Amino acid sequence: MPFKIVRADITGFECDAIAVPVDKSMRGGAVLNALVSAYGRRIIDSILSSEYDKEGGFSIAEVEGMAAKYLVCVLAPSSEDDDAYPGLFRAYAACVAGAEKAGAGSVAIPLIGTGANGFNAEKALPIAVASCGICMEKTDIDVTLVLYDEESYVYGRRMFPEIYDYITAAQITESNRVGRIDRKRRERRDTDGHTQETMFCAAQSAGAAVFRPSAVCDECPETDEKSGLEDYIRQVDAGFSETLLDLIDKSGMTDVQCYKRANVDRKLFSKIRSDPAYRPKKATALSFCIALSLSLEQTNSLLAKAGYTLSHSNRGDLIVEYFIKNGKYDIFEINEALFAFDQTLLGV
């Protein structure tokens, strides 16, 4: 793991295996056509000569000269099938199972069924995310959902209207707040400027001495600044790593359960656990807040340990805040929304 969503050309995507949707006759759609266009007819020959695993629902073809070493062919259901949507779940599970059987450490999966198979992209994308999310609980390989802009991307406003409204309302509130601050600052500058000019003129008339900062400093008692600073630093609170491990212990989860729920791999979690001074990226810190189902106040408290906070001037932060306020802690659902609004995903 982890699981991520990207917009890219799957034919040149750097990974160990690429999933290829095919029909019962082993004929493919847009993904297979793109692979054949990029690498030639040998792609089809390799697929046709591969053995189909009926139980797993996939076949594995090994092809040289590609960015990926393996092609995992899975049966793509039609939207007209009686069990169309359960069929999509099985197809994604087969992609991951096939990659595992091939010994791949990573697999790129396209959005299945949205072309000639007739599935609506707005319904197919949540199923893809949910399916891959379930698979991630049982595997350690990296899974990437690779989407084409022109055929797979659905605008966030259409997919998540409630989140769009929440972001819009919050940004209007923030804009109004900033506007009020700017007005107050301008008013204060005008008032202060007039007051200071009046005081300066009065002082000159009275023959007052010009203020010298050094005159005040000359009268200050000497202090051991280095010693005082060292004493102050010793009062430092527990850092992100220590606080996170304590929260995991209190949650009743194991470390493995927590970093999997956070969409973080074992290597990164080991770094956090072994280094008390470790400072994660904001997306990583947020992913653990979600994994631990922290409240908004608790989230900002843990983020502060790494030097961050949620901000209403950041669209990604607003999306995460929306899910927390509504008690929704499925990181893959959150990442789906972040992707739809072109924001940084959590945990990856």
44-48, 246-250, 252-256, 317-321, range with the lowest pLDDT: 44-48
Per-residue pLDDT at 119 exceeds 80? no
Q: What is the mean pLDDT of residues 8-37?
A: 86
Query: How sure is the predictor about 152, in pLDDT bands with cuts at 50, 70 and 90?
Result: very low
34-61 pLDDT, tens digit each: 888 888 888 888 888 888 888 888 999 9
Q: What is the mean pLDDT of residues 62-67?
A: 86
Q: Are 24 and 75 in contact (CB under 8 A)?
A: yes
Per-residue pLDDT at 329 exceeds 90? yes
Class of domain 3-154: alpha beta
Query: How sure is the predictor about 197, in pLDDT bands with cuts at 50, 70 and 90?
Result: low
Q: Are 155 and 145 in contact (CB under 8 A)?
A: no
The predicted pLDDT at position 210 comes to 47
Query: How sure is the predictor about 262, in pLDDT bands with cuts at 50, 70 and 90?
Result: very high
Report the Cα 54 to chain-centroid distance in Å.
35
Per-residue pLDDT at 290 exceeds 90? yes
Q: What is the mean pLDDT of residues 70-89?
A: 83
Does the predicted model carry a pTM greater than 0.85?
no
- Mean pLDDT of all residues in the chain? 81
Q: Of 73-87, 167-181, 264-278, where does the model show the most confidence?
A: 264-278
Per-residue pLDDT at 315 exceeds 80? yes
> What percent of the chain lies above the pLDDT cut of 70?
76
Query: How sure is the predictor about 332, in pLDDT bands with cuts at 50, 70 and 90?
Result: very high
Q: Can you tell me the distance from the alpha carbon of 277 to that of 306, in angstroms, rounded to the nearest whole number? A: 9
Token pair in block for residue 206: 């009275």
Q: Can you tell me the distance from the alpha carbon of 291 to that of 293, in angstroms, rounded to the nearest whole number? A: 6
Domains of the chain, residue spans? 3-154, 240-340
Per-residue pLDDT at 184 exceeds 70? no
In degrees and rounded to multiples of 5, residue 69 shows phi and psi of: -85, -30
Report the Cα 187 to chain-centroid distance in Å.
42
Query: How sure is the predictor about 148, in pLDDT bands with cuts at 50, 70 and 90?
Result: confident
Q: Hey, what amino acid is at 38?
A: A
Per-residue pLDDT at 127 exceeds 80? yes
> What percent of the chain lies above the pLDDT cut of 90?
40
Q: Which residue has the higher pLDDT, 102 or 51?
A: 102
Q: What would the 3-class secondary structure string for the chain be?
A: CCEEEEECCHHHCCCCEEEEEECCCCCECHHHHHHHHHHCCHHHHHHHCCCEECCCCEEEEECCCCCCCEEEEEECCCCCCCCHHHHHHHHHHHHHHHHHHHCCCEEEEECCCCCCCCCCHHHHHHHHHHHHHHHHCCCCCEEEEEECHHHHCCCHHHHCHHHHHHHHHHHHHHHHHHHHHHHHHHHHHHHHHHHHHHHHHHHHHHCCCCCCHHHHHHCCCCCCHHHHHHHHHCCCCCCHHHHHHHHHHHHCCCHHHHHHHCCCCHHHHHHHHHCCCCCCCHHHHHHHHHHCCCCHHHHHHHHHHCCCCCCCCCHHHHHHHHHHHCCCCCHHHHHHHHHHCCCCCCCC
Per-residue pLDDT at 264 exceeds 80? yes
Q: Which residue has the higher pLDDT, 258 or 219?
A: 258
1-15, 63-77, 129-143, 182-196, range with the lowest pLDDT: 182-196
The predicted pLDDT at position 322 comes to 95
The predicted pLDDT at position 165 comes to 79
The predicted pLDDT at position 151 comes to 46
